A and B are shown apart, each in its own frame.
Chain A
Amino acid sequence: MRSAVDILYYAPGGGLGHATRAAAILRHVRRLGGQSMLAFITTPHALPLEHEGIPYHCPADPAPESLRSEAEALIESCKPRVLVVDTFPFGITGELADILPALDCRKVLVARRLQARWVGWGRLAWKHFDRVLLAEAWGEADNAARLCSPILLRDAEELWPCERAKAALGVGAEEPVVLGVSSDDPDWTCVFFNLLRKIWQRLRPSARLRLASPHLPAGDPLCMDHYPLFEIFNGVDLVVGPCGYNLLHETRACGVPAIFLPQPRRYDDQYARAHGQPSAATPEGLETRLREMMPSCARREAAVYVNGAEAAAREILDTL
């Protein structure tokens, strides 16, 4: 029977990271010649896929009880040659647990860090996949999995040079910039950004503060609406934000210093991800970190890194 799509990227979850990884890998699949692809997401953050022009499907009802029937119907109608599952091997509510073993297509898991209590979604579930790609290192090494470089939405040469990035940030070429980032919910983002403003009022540093979020108040001169934000990281001198997959790996790839405020998640383990990184757990701690790490001049080095998205795309295409 003919497949409707070659690659179905199944990426449920509420955060921006799921859709971003899908977009990062599928844009490289397309560059490598793959044309027929579809992403399945449940996050409201569809911008990464829309921006890349990658077709995607959102379930009409993301409630757990209806997710299984929708996933089953989609896989049945798409008949993908490769099913790529992001993060949750059996789906975010276990909706793939019965479907996966019965599928005769190739199956690839793009695994990301999960809390230890979801160990059942780890190695025990990996045996159902032809390939397991680790999008970040955690726990013990496993021969069944291949560790990729972090999967990022842009390659190093696609990032804007420092001067252009500074201009996009609305600052001079020599001005240091501290960027507050959040793709968290609007209420938390508002509180977080207010805290940064408050600290700026107190420290009155020479570095300029900029704020970036999908939930930006209109008309605020501090707020950035550039997308993808990662593109202008060469112009950023310090980042402050939660410790989600994207922000940690983007800052590390670019060599941008960062202060992380790890947030509790149902599945993701931001506290473990932030381990060993500069982080803060109180307003006073954040203020102290900022005073310690406040940039006094603009960085000069352009980012150099390997984007794991291309390697992941090759691995996926190799299974065809």
Chain B
Amino acid sequence: MAVTRCQENTGFLVLHRCENPAEFDCVYCGRRVCHEHGRPVEAPVVPATPPPAVPDAGGAMAPPPPPAAAAQAYACLTCLRNRQQQPQKQQGVGPGYNDPYYQYPYYGSYRPYHSGYYYDYGDRGVFDRDRSSSSDNANALGS
């Protein structure tokens, strides 16, 4: 049996293909992964179809074979990470709130009142004119 390499990518600074031998099949994407990049999951594994009962020579039907022990399922880390993020996206947040339009501070009603982020430097310019050099810009003579 040919030993295949793990198909997960790894590396902190430089991403590269994992060198470990593959041990499991990911139940979600089917990729072969090693023991470092596979985690046991409770995902349902579709059992192999039992062989059909065949009557014996006397015509009696043999009892069906006992079910095979449920094989432990594994999933790759990439699929686990992706599946963990999905519930957050589905938690009662309307599609409009994912729209960047609503996350731009100008329209940012998702932020709490008096958040320091809602008003920017320009907004504070309404109040933060320099008193010492104040003059009416419309006229150098002042007012």
Contact = CB atoms under 8 A, between A and B. Distances in A.
A14 B130 contact: no
Given A17-B143, A202-B118, A283 B135 contact: no
A257 B46 CA distance: 72
B123 interface: yes
A191 interface: yes
Contacts of B86: none
B140 A62 contact: yes
A283 B141 CA distance: 29
B81 interface: no
A264 B134 CA distance: 6
B139 A62 contact: yes
Contacts of A287: 113-114
Given A12-B141, A44-B139, A266 B123 contact: no
B139 A283 contact: no
B126 A191 contact: yes
Interface string B115-143: 00011001111110111001111111111
Interface of B: 106-109, 113-114, 118-119, 122-127, 129-131, 134-143
A268 interface: yes
Interface stretch (A23-31, A133-141, A159-167, A192-200): A192-200
A60 interface: no
B127 to A, nearest CB: 5
Q: Which 3 A-B pairs have the closest CB atoms?
A: A14-B139, A266-B142, A264-B134
A73 to B, nearest CB: 18
Nearest to A291: B113
A280 B127 contact: yes
Nearest to A266: B142
Secondary structure type dominating chain B contacts: loop
Contacts of B119: 195, 198, 282-284
A63 B140 CA distance: 8
B129 A201 contact: no
Interface class of chain A by DSSP = loop
A62 B106 CA distance: 40
Interface of A: 12-15, 17-18, 42-45, 62-64, 67, 92-93, 184-185, 187-188, 191-192, 194-195, 198, 201-202, 261, 263-268, 280-284, 286-288
A191 B125 CA distance: 7
Nearest to B130: A264
A263 B129 contact: yes
B106 A198 contact: yes
5 contacts: A14-B138, A14-B139, A44-B139, A195-B123, A280-B127
Given A194-B123, A198-B106, A284 B139 contact: no
Contact of A185 (B125, B126, B137): B137
A265 B135 contact: yes
A18 B143 contact: yes
A18 B138 CA distance: 13
